[in-house]
Amino acid sequence: MELGAPGRPRTSYWNIADTMPDYLDSYENAVKPVPSTIPELDDMIKGGFRPGIHFIGGNTGAGKTALCLWMAHRMASMTDEETGQPTGVTIISLELSAAEVRARMGSRLSKHLEGLQPFSWADFEEHGAECKAKIANKTYNPDEDPVYCADLELVSRCPNMRIVDNIVNSKANDLGYILNEIQMTGAAGGRVCFVDYLQCIDAGFGLDETEAMKEAVRKINLAGIRYGVAVIVIAAVNRAKGSEMRNSKKGENPGADIFRGSSWIEYTGLTAMALIRHKNARKTRNYVEVELCLVKNRRGTFGDPIELAYDGAHGDFVTWDEVMN
């Protein structure tokens, strides 16, 4: 049986029957969510991130940016079920340079891939100086350069990644520019856009911070839905809530009111997550324990906080159980 609207005269105002074909087209061609690459989180949000806006916040030192770059790298390494190609991921970095973003992702790769020399992303400049000196002395061997070798792997594994920063491109923090990047990501078949971070966006129009954030959140959400892109935005938490999170007991969900100007985040976001580093967090080797809490979820359920282990030197995350085993 062919699905379609029941025949009846077109009306001048009531459109429920007239728009049934559009509804069925949306139904039959619904875009699958993009997995977060964290199975426990995907179980709670019914498969992954859907088009629209999502938020990540956390207290100081929890690794918010590192978590987003970690997810971005892992997503871009996956095959997109919709296209059969590597997943298209755009990173809009309004604080870090594009070079630092690449160095952080390369540092993580260097730790995990056999044959690569591990390096800390904080040593990027030091390795660069050594590289420059060796080139000048004609003793440079690219096969011995850990940063270069890791970046070759990054390019090979994540060919459909785009990185934009606010240093090379001074317009990158303009809301209009970000909306255009979301549109272009969708037009190129991309599925995900990361923005670091919300409070750096210039919404223009002479608005105060609260009104500017409201404008940015609303328009980014609509752009994500319109162009089929999940937009994951890092947002600052207010100081009092950050302190509460640091001093809270393990397993406590801090709630969705942790963000600065939280009302629009609570209202608009499809999901919102809090990354918490407790004052007395467990540590082992290079890892410190952090908890990822789902504080808003329009789909699915709220489960227990996800226990992760964070290696700040390499921007790496694993489950706490993996570290202990």
Other Cβ atoms less than 10 A from the Cβ of 156: the count is: 9
Alpha-carbon span 111 to 315, nearest angstrom = 10
Amino acid letter at 313?
A
Q: Give percent above pLDDT 70 in the chain.
A: 96
- Asked whether the predicted pLDDT for residue 248 surpasses 80, the reply is yes
Tens digits of residue pLDDT in 14-69: 888 888 999 999 899 888 999 999 999 999 999 999 999 999 999 999 999 999 99
The DSSP string of 56-118 is EEE-TTS-HHHHHHHHHHHHHTSBPTTTSSBPPEEEEESSS-HHHHHHHHHHHHHHHSTTSPP
Alpha-carbon span 64 to 245, nearest angstrom = 14
Tens digits of residue pLDDT in 153-184: 999 999 999 999 999 999 999 999 999 999 99
Measured N-to-C along each axis, helices 64-76 and 98-112 cross at an angle, to the nearest 10 degrees, of: 70
DSSP structural state of residue 48: S
Tens digits of residue pLDDT in 111-137: 999 999 999 999 999 999 999 999 999
Helix residue ranges per DSSP H, the chain: 20-28, 39-44, 64-76, 98-112, 124-136, 146-157, 175-187, 209-227, 239-247, 262-268, 320-324
Alpha-carbon span 283 to 290, nearest angstrom = 10
Phi, psi of 7 (to 5 degrees): -65, 135
Alpha-carbon span 275 to 48, nearest angstrom = 17
How sure is the predictor about 247, in pLDDT bands with cuts at 50, 70 and 90? Answer: very high
Q: Give percent above pLDDT 90 in the chain.
A: 78
DSSP structural state of residue 37: S
Tokens encoding 76: 């871009």
Task: Specify the pTM.
Answer: 0.93
Alpha-carbon span 306 to 39, nearest angstrom = 10
CB 234 within 8 A of CB 56: yes
User: How many residues in total does the chain contain?
Assistant: 325
Q: Could you identify the residue written with the tokens 């789902």?
A: 294
Tens digits of residue pLDDT in 270-323: 999 999 999 999 999 899 999 999 999 998 888 899 999 999 999 999 998 888
How sure is the predictor about 6, in pLDDT bands with cuts at 50, 70 and 90? Answer: low
Other Cβ atoms less than 10 A from the Cβ of 212: the count is: 20
N-terminal to C-terminal alpha carbon distance within the chain: 54
Q: Residue 94: which of 168, 154, 180 has the closest Cα? A: 168
Phi, psi of 117 (to 5 degrees): -85, 115
Q: Which residues are paired to 318 by β-bridges?
A: 309
Tokens encoding 107: 């540092």
